[in-house]
Amino acid sequence: MRKILHLVLKEMKIRLKYRFVWVNMALTPFFIIGPYVFSSRIADVNSLAENVLIGALLWYWLNQYFFGVGDGFTEEREEGALISVVLAPISLLAFLFSKAADTFLMNLYITFFTLLFFYLSGIKLEIHLYFLLLLAVSGVYITFFSIFFAALSLWKKRIRSINSTAQFFFGVLSGMVNPVENFPSYVRLISYMIPLTYLISIGRSIIKNGNMSGFVPQLLILTGLSFAYLILGVWLLKKAENEIRKKGEWESW
């Protein structure tokens, strides 16, 4: 744990040197998910805009985790620094968890300004304590899913080329804008394999009802599914590590 915290602090110190990055992080999400939210206001139903905002915001969390964690050490490979990570006294899994912790802190920062800008634009989202807890917990579940994708990307390097496409694919199928209940049954089968689907559904339920009643079954399924992705991801990560070690490809790109 101390090693993970050390890496997180290291990333924060580096980022603090580039102040404009913080401005970029505060503004970018608003302009990316804004069109989805503002388009929903055409129907002149505020609850519709709230539902879209929740879906888009949670999708953006996944977006950041997939770039921060799920990219499968792409940044380290491009810089030729992956061998340094391998030789460091920390496992690849712990390294990914340090990236996840750093991404979680950045997502909290991003979420604050995104909700503030939407509030100033006339879209007010009633923030309940349960919703804040959901954001915190979602970081754990999305981390597990991202570690699985990172392991895939390390094992099969070409997968990293579809990272952005995968993010939009997961966003659409998770009901980011259109609830999954409106999808055909064969599409819903895929949707229910994505942890984000349950997070969005639970988030909308919290905002609508103001409590945690009615979605315990979804939370249990989400927990089981996320841990399954984590276990599979850890196994794939070890498999990829062993294959690369045998081929001596740690420094190749």
Model confidence pLDDT, tens digit, residues 88-136: 667 888 888 888 888 899 999 999 999 899 888 888 777 777 888 888 8
Q: What is the dihedral of CA 209, 212, 216, 219, to 10 degrees?
A: 100
Q: How many domains does the chain have?
A: 1
* Count of CB atoms situated within 10 Å of the CB of 160: 20
Checking if the pLDDT of 64 tops 60, the result is yes
Q: What is the pLDDT of residue 212?
A: 65
**CA-to-CA distance for 234 and 236, rounded, in angstroms?**
5
- What tokens were used for 204? 């909308």
pLDDT, greater one: 243 or 169: 169
Q: What is the largest CA-CA distance in the chain?
A: 60
Question: Once rounded to an integer, what is the mean pLDDT over residues 212-237?
Answer: 89
* Count of CB atoms situated within 10 Å of the CB of 92: 21
**CA-to-CA distance for 53 and 144, rounded, in angstroms?**
24
Query: 3-state DSSP call for residue 192?
Result: coil
**CA-to-CA distance for 201 and 138, rounded, in angstroms?**
12
**CA-to-CA distance for 127 and 143, rounded, in angstroms?**
23
Question: Do residues 202 and 134 make contact, with C-beta atoms less than 8 angstroms apart?
Answer: yes
Q: Which domain holds residue 132?
A: 1-252
Q: What is the pLDDT of residue 144?
A: 94
Question: Once rounded to an integer, what is the mean pLDDT over residues 55-61?
Answer: 90
* Residue 46's pLDDT band (cuts 50, 70, 90): low
**CA-to-CA distance for 95 and 207, rounded, in angstroms?**
35
Average pLDDT, the chain: 83
What digits encode the pLDDT tens for the residues 142-170?
A: 999 999 998 888 888 777 778 788 888 99
Checking if the pLDDT of 205 tops 60, the result is yes
Q: What is the pLDDT of residue 89?
A: 65
State what percent of residues in the chain have pLDDT above 90. Answer: 21
* Residue 227's pLDDT band (cuts 50, 70, 90): very high
